Amino acid sequence: MKAFSVCARLLLVAATAAIQCPSAPGQTGRGPDNAPRRPASTLNRASPPAKAPDEEGFIRRWLVLEPIGTTGLTDSAVRAAVRKAYFTDQFTVIPHDGDKVSIEGADLTWHAVDSTLYNVNLYHFAYALGKPTSNVLFWAVALLDCPSELRDVRLAIGSNAASVWWVNGKEVIGIYGDRQTVIDDGVSRRLVLKKGPNILRCAIVNGGGATDFCARFLDADEAPVKSFTVNLGGAGK
């Protein structure tokens, strides 16, 4: 499998775990002292045109929902958390930048983001908005446009901590427990990306500290798939 060297992986994990002074795309929040937070250091607000994966195939453009409170990283706790009905059409919705959902009396916003790194740093995302970073669940969605059918591809992911992933409404992989993000930590069975739009959806559950995720598709020869684009169904409107 084409993957980073052990040394590079260690450097990437260390960079992910480092807690910087982040803030948020699009808008900023306030800390406990009511001081404004700066924009997230690793995230920018996504805008047209559609964005291709990077040279290693990592998807850097996502719609991310502000965090929802939850607890537990075991298989059963995570599966219970992601199966809970938080908002209407949570397994089918294609959100737009700025869309809101109401959960337990609070309005949470979807944010279209482009990551400057191979991974999406959810700690930076939440911290910048003045949102909780521990004991939380993040939903993220990417709309992939494929110019032709792609057969025998596999979704390869990593997350800190647990995560569950769906492609076109079908659950394809989940990883559990208190873990660091490692490239290609979990790899799905072979699947098909159809010609036209495909929906990649994930739920990331964090216990405490740093939290992030990464995702790419690998072809039958285990090379990164880079022939699609990501438009998120209206990011940057």
| Helix/strand/coil (H/E/C) assignment for every residue in 33-75 | CCCECCCCCCEEECCCCCECCCCCCECCEEEEECCEECCCCCH
**H helix or E strand, kind and range, residue 216:** strand 212-218
Query: Is the separation of the CB atoms in 188 and 175 below 8 Å?
Result: no
Architecture of domain 6-14+57-230: Sandwich (2.60)
Q: Which residue's entry shows tokens 């990164």? A: 224
**pLDDT value, residue 20:** 37
Query: Is the separation of the CB atoms in 99 and 107 below 8 Å?
Result: no
Query: What is the separation, in whole angstroms, between the first and last Cα of the chain?
Result: 38
Task: Parse the chain into domains and list their residue ranges.
Answer: 6-14+57-230
**pLDDT value, residue 37:** 75
| Integer Cα distance of 209 and 19 in angstroms | 8
Number of neighbours of residue 117 by Cβ within 10 angstroms: 18
Query: Is the separation of the CB atoms in 43 and 25 below 8 Å?
Result: yes
**pLDDT value, residue 48:** 86
Query: Is the separation of the CB atoms in 160 and 211 below 8 Å?
Result: yes
Query: Is the separation of the CB atoms in 12 and 183 below 8 Å?
Result: yes
Query: Is the separation of the CB atoms in 64 and 140 below 8 Å?
Result: yes
- At 28, phi and psi to the nearest 5? -125, 155
| Integer Cα distance of 211 and 209 in angstroms | 7
Side chain identity, residue 137: L
The first and second tokens of residue 201, run together, are 């959806």
Per-residue pLDDT of the chain (237 residues; tens, 9 = 90+): 444 443 444 344 444 433 333 334 544 565 555 556 778 999 999 988 999 999 999 999 999 999 999 999 999 999 999 999 999 999 999 999 999 999 988 999 999 999 999 999 999 999 999 999 999 999 999 999 999 999 999 999 999 999 999 999 999 999 999 999 999 999 999 999 999 999 999 999 999 999 999 999 999 999 999 999 999 874 433
Q: What is the pTM (predicted TM-score) of this model?
A: 0.85
